[in-house]
């Protein structure tokens, strides 16, 4: 049969975020004159499902914590050569951070950690900033040798006040030490010459 080409992508229900911005964050793109150069016009059912998550993540990065893609309707032309996709979006309300806390185990005070991350009470809730804060907190413990420290963000939204309570739970785990360092492929340079240039030696704390 004919290869189906994606000829139309439409968004419904998006009043707070423009079509252009939503369109720039998804894989499914309409066919156009130079589609061969960027892969536009291809229809992939799996990509449509991923696009629903991409759209929801986009909204979460603008504070719309409860935004959902209600459905994605896919329709074909009579000869099944053309595809149209309509995404129906429920935006919800914008949420703001009300309280940001860190539950930690020694090494750092809560305030020391809060000073390092870019999430603050009163800010719009932005998913990407929360994810970035999580990585920063993990890196802080990694600098002390706890490279497998776990950080769990607890996000508690209040739909009535449109505010979010955010708590980072930190479990540092165990310190990691270098038992053995192996150097491979060095046929022209001796091990000891290379080892003199390393910042970490066997027995050292791994950070």
Average pLDDT, the chain: 92
Q: Residue 20: is its pLDDT beyond 90?
A: yes
Q: Give the distance from CA 95 to its chain's centroid.
A: 18
Q: Are 175 and 140 in contact (CB under 8 A)?
A: no
Q: Residue 34: is its pLDDT beyond 80?
A: no
Separation CA 138–CA 17 (nearest Å): 32
Q: 120 falls in which pLDDT band (50, 70, 90)? A: very high
Provide the pLDDT for residue 128.
Answer: 95
Q: Residue 166: is its pLDDT beyond 90?
A: yes
Provide the pLDDT for residue 90.
Answer: 97
Complete edge-to-edge strand list for the sheet that includes strand 5-12? 5-12, 82-90, 68-76
Separation CA 22–CA 127 (nearest Å): 16
Q: What is the DSSP string of 115-130?
A: TTSS--TTSBP-HHHH
Q: Residue 137: is its pLDDT beyond 90?
A: yes
For 183-199, the pLDDT digits (tens) are: 999 999 999 999 999 99
For 40-79, the pLDDT digits (tens) are: 888 889 999 999 999 999 999 999 999 999 999 999 999 8
The answer to which of 29-33, 80-84, 137-141 has the lowest mean pLDDT is 29-33
Confidence (pTM): 0.80
What average pLDDT does this structure show over 100-110? 88
Identify the helix (H) or strand (E) that includes residue 194.
helix 191-195
Q: Residue 33: is its pLDDT beyond 80?
A: no
**Exposure of 27 in the CB half-sphere (CA atoms within 13 A):** 13
Record the tokens describing residue 93, joined without a space.
Answer: 């309300």
Neighbours of 45 (CB within 10 A): 8
| Pairing mode, strands 163-171 and 150-158 | antiparallel
Per DSSP, the chain holds a count of helices (H) and strands (E) of 6, 6
Q: 4 falls in which pLDDT band (50, 70, 90)? A: confident
Q: Residue 39: is its pLDDT beyond 80?
A: no
Residue 101 pairs in a beta bridge with 167
Q: Give the distance from CA 204 to its chain's centroid.
A: 33
What average pLDDT does this structure show over 3-31? 92
Which residue in 146, 207, 205, 202 sits closest to 179, CA to CA?
202
Provide the pLDDT for residue 117.
Answer: 95
Place of tokens 């739909």: 159
Separation CA 100–CA 105 (nearest Å): 17
Q: Residue 2: is its pLDDT beyond 80?
A: no
Separation CA 171–CA 104 (nearest Å): 7
């Amino acid at each position: 049969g004919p290869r189906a080409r994606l000829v139309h992508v439409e968004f419904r229900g998006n009043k707070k975020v423009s079509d252009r911005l939503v369109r720039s964050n998804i894989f499914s793109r309409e066919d156009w004159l130079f589609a061969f150069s960027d892969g536009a016009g291809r229809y992939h059912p799996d990509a449509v499902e991923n696009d629903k998550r991409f759209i929801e993540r986009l909204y979460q990065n603008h504070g719309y914590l409860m935004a959902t893609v209600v459905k994605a309707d896919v329709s074909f032309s009579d000869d099944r050569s053309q595809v149209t996709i309509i995404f129906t979006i429920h935006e919800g309300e914008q949420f703001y951070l009300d309280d940001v806390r860190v539950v930690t185990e020694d090494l750092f005070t809560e305030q020391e950690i809060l000073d390092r991350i870019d999430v603050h009470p009163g800010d719009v809730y932005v998913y990407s900033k929360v994810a970035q804060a999580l990585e920063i907190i993990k890196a802080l413990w990694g600098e002390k040798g706890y490279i497998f420290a776990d950080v769990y963000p607890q996000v508690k939204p209040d739909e009535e006040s449109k505010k979010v309570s955010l708590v980072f739970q930190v479990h540092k785990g165990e310190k990691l030490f270098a038992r053995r360092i192996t150097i491979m492929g060095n046929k022209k340079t001796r091990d000891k010459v290379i080892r003199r240039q390393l910042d970490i030696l066997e027995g050292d704390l791994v950070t």
